[in-house]
Amino acid sequence: MYEAAFEKLRWQKRLNSERVKPFLKWAGGKRRMLADIRSCVPQHFRRYYEPFVGAGAVLFDLQPADAVINDINEELMNVYRVIQSDVEGLIKDLEKHRNEKSYYYKIRDLDLNEDYQKMSDLEKASRIIYLNKTCFNGLFRVNKEGHFNVPFGKYSRPNIVNERTLRGVSRYFRENRVKIMATDFAEAVEDAEEGDFVYLDSPYDPLSTTSYFTSYSNDGFTKKDQIRLHDLFADLDRRGTLVLMSNSATPFIKQMYNNYHITFSSTSRLINADGSKRGRIDEVLVTNY
């Protein structure tokens, strides 16, 4: 009897020590915008869809019981799948990494080697988390060939093995219905129906010709993609799906969504190689409800 009570207490303490929150630093992350986003989330919805999930700040804040998450970045979605299926194995593998410049470049350049494809999904996930924690400014950037090319960050104590958060995210995935995809954003929401909720957080329309971050994937996200996203927004609206979209407050975006409800927000730019350009930017939250 006492052993059972002690075990229950131990398990409860472990749950309390786990945190469901982003475990990666990601361009366009929404942690600093969550209050504004929460105010726009519908009170009731059925299934949750997030086709540009990124680091998952909104997903982990809402923690929906039934969700479809997606990102075109296969490396990122592999990390999510591994956390869902084998978080303890991932934590163990992360412990092998060293915060050393020569070691960093050795791990970074693994994707230049043909043997990279022979690595297990767990090893690839461990590599991405390690690079994210130790590379310059937490960027995920690839060149036109799809190779990770961010330099070493020179941080004194990077949190490479965040056991508390990784276990919390794994528990959330395993205890709920979370489908993980890595495909085109339109395909990810093909099944969305009336009463479902879709949050669209695509790469933003650039504020200037020099500010467009196109290296998140080796395909980029163009004006044509923004138009295709708008067409998807309109299609979801016709289906009776609840839709929330975040984007930069450029004239192009404001004009394209002027038939919907637009709320303005302002947040700090967290990731930019030039420290002088990490100020506040104007953003829009667009809803069809």
pLDDT in tens, 39-94: 999 999 999 999 999 999 999 999 999 999 999 999 999 999 999 999 999 999 99
Residue from 108, 132, 100 nearest 23 by CA: 132
How does pLDDT run across 95-116, given as a tens digit for each residue? 999 999 999 999 999 999 999 9
SS (H, E, C) 102-142: HHHHHHHHHHHCHHHHHCCHHHHHHHHHHHHHHEHHHCCCE
Mean pLDDT throughout 167-174? 98
> What pLDDT, in 10s, does the model give residues 16-47?
558 999 999 988 889 889 999 999 999 999 99
With a cut of 80, say whether residue 14 has pLDDT above it: no
Banded model confidence at residue 281, pLDDT cuts 50, 70, 90 = confident
How far apart are alpha carbons 83 and 122 in whole angstroms? 9
User: For the chain, which domains are there?
Assistant: 2-287 (3.40.50.150)
Contact at 8 Å (CB) between 176 and 30?
Answer: no
- Asked if 187 contacts 49 with a C-beta cutoff of 8 angstroms, the reply is no
- 285, 265 contact by CB (below 8 A): yes
DSSP state of 206: P
What is the model's pLDDT at position 85? 98
Confidence (pLDDT) at 219: 58
Instruction: Compute the average pLDDT of residues 239-246.
Output: 98
Q: Is the pLDDT score of 214 beyond 50?
A: no
Section 140-168 average pLDDT: 94
Share of the chain above pLDDT 90, in %: 77
Measured CA to CA, the distance from residue 231 to residue 226 in angstroms comes to 9
What average pLDDT is seen over the chain?
A: 89
Q: What is the mean pLDDT of residues 187-214?
A: 86
Average pLDDT, integer, range 131-157: 92
Q: What is the pTM of this model?
A: 0.88
Q: Which residue has the higher pLDDT, 101 or 268?
A: 101
For residue 209, pLDDT over 70 is answered with no
Q: Is 186 exposed, middle or buried (0-12, 13-18, 19+ CB in 10 A)?
A: middle
Amino acid type, 154: K
